[in-house]
């Protein structure tokens, strides 16, 4: 069973991530929000610290690159006895692993700055994709590399199954052609995980992901986007023109499987959506803490033992937002815990991402309103957090797509049956 307390072995990691948010990210947050597309050099030291923690084992799997799905024969983690009497002798393996630790650490760093968290070298969403579906040889080969992820295309929007970028086998290589937009860390990363189809006529079953070196001459940077929020993170658009990729850089099974062939690629989302939910939770927590402090100075405090209707509007609003945060937090822990324990979590990952993303937007905007002039001005970070929040309800699958995934799972319907 899931234990909702932060596991003891992860507490040092959480404290270190919290210190990073408050001592490193917060002080430079406004600087890189204004200096869009300028690489935050301070992150080189942060990256070195994370690498050192991971190498020593102290990091307990911090960062997106560590999120991976547990296997039945994976005996790492904590053991919990289930049941009583003679059943207690049959202990069931319960793991608190890299997915949960990644969620907890990312939540803390995003209390400092989401854009800076996304800009930490070798902790990109492409790294999470590699961790989710790559084989052991590939994981070893890509170890230590910074990977971005390229899924979205101009004409496909949120429908990952409608990808038009093609991959044609040519000897020991695949030739990729197409266009990708909104690639987070696309300019800075060393690798780009590109989603492409082996056969358009077969639909989503033929979609595979390929690891493309950033210096590949067929991968051409078109532009960097100017954005509403997360400006510290570069967002790139690419053209793939006869981009030749070694066959060994196709992630997962190269065979096209008519039944369930899209599952390998989509498993990426089962790991990354809880991470994005954690980003939203971090920003939500930061907004709530800052607003609570501002209101307290104005004489508004929450009485946790009284019903909301008996308190001021501002206090009642804080109560409601705290409840929404807790719901999103628990959904996110559940999705990560399920991944650590090898349980199918596609619906739960979408639930976590949908709830956390929408809560993040609603809370950050409400906090700007409650804080008045302080919330709207640039002298504080509340207005920046409100701008940053919207992307967390969009990327890795929009709010609407998450609700569609959840509905399909609940109703037992396929994507062709419920569109």
pLDDT at 81 over 60: no
CATH number of 263-411: 1.20.140.10
pLDDT at 77 over 90: no
pLDDT at 65 over 70: no
- Examine the residue annotation and report whether 259 is marked as an active-site residue of this protein: no
pLDDT at 79 over 90: no
Helix and strand numbers, DSSP H then E, in the chain = 13, 10
Q: What is the mean pLDDT of residues 234-239?
A: 97
| Rounded Cα distance, 406 and 345, in Å | 11
Q: Is 142 left (phi over 0), alpha (psi -120 to 50) or beta?
A: alpha
List, for residues 18-35, the tens digit of each pLDDT value.
999 999 999 999 999 999
pLDDT in the model for residue 203: 79
Q: With bands split at pLDDT 50, 70 and 90, how would you rate the model's confidence at 2?
A: low
What are the boundaries of each domain within the chain? 8-125, 138-251, 263-411
CATH number of 138-251: 2.40.110.10
Mean pLDDT of the chain: 88
The H or E element that residue 193 is part of is strand 191-197
Quote the pTM value: 0.90
> Partners of 237 in the beta sheet?
223
Asked whether the beta carbons of 340 and 98 are under 8 A apart, the reply is yes
pLDDT in the model for residue 96: 85
Low-confidence winner among 122-136, 180-194, 212-226 (lowest mean pLDDT): 122-136
Q: What is the mean pLDDT of residues 44-71?
A: 66
| Rounded Cα distance, 146 and 49, in Å | 15
List, for residues 138-179, the tens digit of each pLDDT value.
999 999 999 999 999 998 876 777 899 999 999 999 999 999
For residue 4, give both structure tokens. 């909702």
Q: Is 336 left (phi over 0), alpha (psi -120 to 50) or beta?
A: alpha
Please state, for a pLDDT cut of 90, what percent of the chain lies above it.
Answer: 72
pLDDT in the model for residue 80: 35
Q: Which of 108, 153, 348, 396 is catalytic?
A: 396
pLDDT at 1 over 80: no
Q: Output the DSSP codes for 272-286.
A: HHHHHHHHHHHHHHH
Burial class of 258 by CB neighbour count within 10 A (0 to 12, 13 to 18, 19+): exposed
Q: With bands split at pLDDT 50, 70 and 90, how would you rate the model's confidence at 374?
A: very high
Exposure pattern of 108-121 as b/e (b: 16+ CB <10 Å)?
bbbbbbbbbbbbbb
The tokens 């990312």 sit on which residue?
Answer: 106
Low-confidence winner among 40-44, 64-68, 196-200 (lowest mean pLDDT): 64-68
Q: What is the mean pLDDT of residues 367-378?
A: 96
């Amino acid at each position: 069973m899931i234990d909702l307390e932060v596991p003891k072995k992860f507490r040092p990691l959480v404290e270190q991530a919290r210190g990073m948010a408050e001592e490193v990210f917060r002080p430079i947050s406004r600087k890189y929000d204004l200096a869009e597309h300028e690489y935050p050099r301070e992150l080189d030291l942060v990256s070195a610290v994370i690498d050192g923690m991971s190498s020593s084992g102290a990091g307990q799997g911090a960062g997106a690159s560590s999120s991976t799905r547990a296997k039945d024969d994976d005996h790492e983690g904590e053991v919990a006895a289930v049941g009583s009497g003679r059943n207690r002798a049959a202990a069931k393996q319960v793991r608190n692993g890299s997915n949960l630790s990644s969620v907890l650490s990312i939540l803390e760093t995003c209390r400092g700055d989401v854009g800076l968290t996304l800009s930490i070298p070798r902790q990109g969403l492409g790294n999470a994709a590699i961790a989710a579906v790559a084989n052991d040889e590939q994981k070893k080969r890509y170890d230590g590399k910074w990977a971005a992820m390229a899924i979205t295309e101009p004409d496909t929007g949120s429908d990952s199954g409608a990808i038009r970028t093609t991959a044609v086998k040519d000897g020991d290589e695949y030739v990729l052609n197409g266009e990708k937009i909104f690639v987070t860390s696309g300019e800075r990363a060393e690798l780009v995980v590109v989603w492409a189809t082996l056969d358009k006529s077969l639909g989503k079953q033929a979609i595979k992901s390929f690891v493309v070196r950033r210096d590949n001459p067929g991968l051409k940077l078109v532009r960097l986007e100017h954005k509403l929020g997360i400006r510290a993170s570069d967002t790139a658009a690419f053209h793939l023109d006869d981009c030749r990729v070694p066959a060994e850089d196709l992630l997962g099974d190269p065979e096209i499987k008519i039944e369930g062939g899209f599952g390998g690629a989509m498993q990426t989302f089962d790991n990354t959506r809880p991470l994005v939910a954690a980003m939203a939770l971090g920003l939500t927590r930061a907004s709530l803490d800052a607003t609570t402090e501002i209101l307290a100075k104005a004489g508004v405090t929450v009485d946790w033992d009284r019903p909301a209707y008996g308190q001021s509007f501002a206090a009642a609003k804080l109560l409601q937002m705290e409840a929404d945060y807790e719901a999103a937090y628990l959904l996110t822990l559940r999705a990560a815990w399920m991944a650590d324990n090898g349980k199918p979590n596609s619906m739960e990952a979408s639930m976590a991402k949908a709830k956390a993303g929408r809560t993040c937007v609603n809370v950050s905007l409400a906090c700007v309103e409650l804080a008045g002039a302080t919330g709207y001005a640039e002298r504080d970070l509340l207005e920046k957090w409100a701008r940053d929040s919207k992307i967390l309800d969009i990327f890795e699958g929009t709010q609407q797509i998450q609700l569609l995934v959840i509905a399909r799972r609940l109703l037992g319907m396929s994507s062709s049956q419920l569109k």
